[in-house]
Amino acid sequence: MCPRCNGRTQHARRFARIQIPQANRLVDADGNERAGIHLPEIAVPLATYASWNLRDPSIGAPEQRVSFECSYLPFPRTAEDRRKSSDPRQAIAERYSNREDYLLRYRQVVDQLVDERWILKEDAPLLLQAGEREWDEATK
């Protein structure tokens, strides 16, 4: 969740109105980049992760990017939340039946990355704990 707005949709609404530069258009329907190795957070998403962030309106130039700061734009929790905020992305409850469903998919991605040697086996437990924390934060 964005610490500056202390809410779930303020930045998401601004983000949706911005014309994304051509170089950043290689994204999926959620706004996550398609290229590269997909870590669990991207392969089993609870948010849109952008490699850039917009300036807060309180400091001026809200359509310009902030250097070296990325974006985390959480998905709506439910379909009703999605409709209320006019968010085109699927809600968490529409993607995953429950926490266990999400964590099972997350674990499958971690295991695949370990098998493919993109992640060390000893790092897997830490990644799984991060997945649990992210679910808990995104669904509270």
User: What is the domain count for the chain?
Assistant: 1
Q: What is the pLDDT of residues 130-140, one digit of tens each?
A: 999 999 999 99
Q: What is the pLDDT of residues 56-90, one digit of tens each?
A: 788 888 777 777 677 788 999 999 999 999 999 99
Flag whether 101 is in a domain: yes
In the predicted structure, residue 8 carries a pLDDT above the cut 50: no
Domain boundaries, position 88: 10-138
User: What was the pLDDT predicted at 2?
Assistant: 45
Flag whether 5 is in a domain: no
What is the secondary structure of the chain as a DSSP string? --TTT-SSSHHHHHHHHS---GGG--B-TTS-B-SS---HHHHS-SEEEES-EEPPGGGS-TTSEETT--EEEEPPSSHHHHHHHT--SPPHHHH-SSHHHHHHHHHHHHHHHHHTTSS-GGGHHHHHHHHHHHHHHHT-
Whether the full predicted model's pTM is greater than 0.85, yes or no, is: no
Q: What is the pLDDT of residues 80-131, one digit of tens each?
A: 999 999 999 999 999 999 999 999 999 999 999 999 999 999 999 999 999 9
Flag whether 115 is in a domain: yes
Amino acid at 44: V
Q: What is the pLDDT of residues 19-53, one digit of tens each?
A: 445 444 688 888 888 888 999 999 999 999 887 77
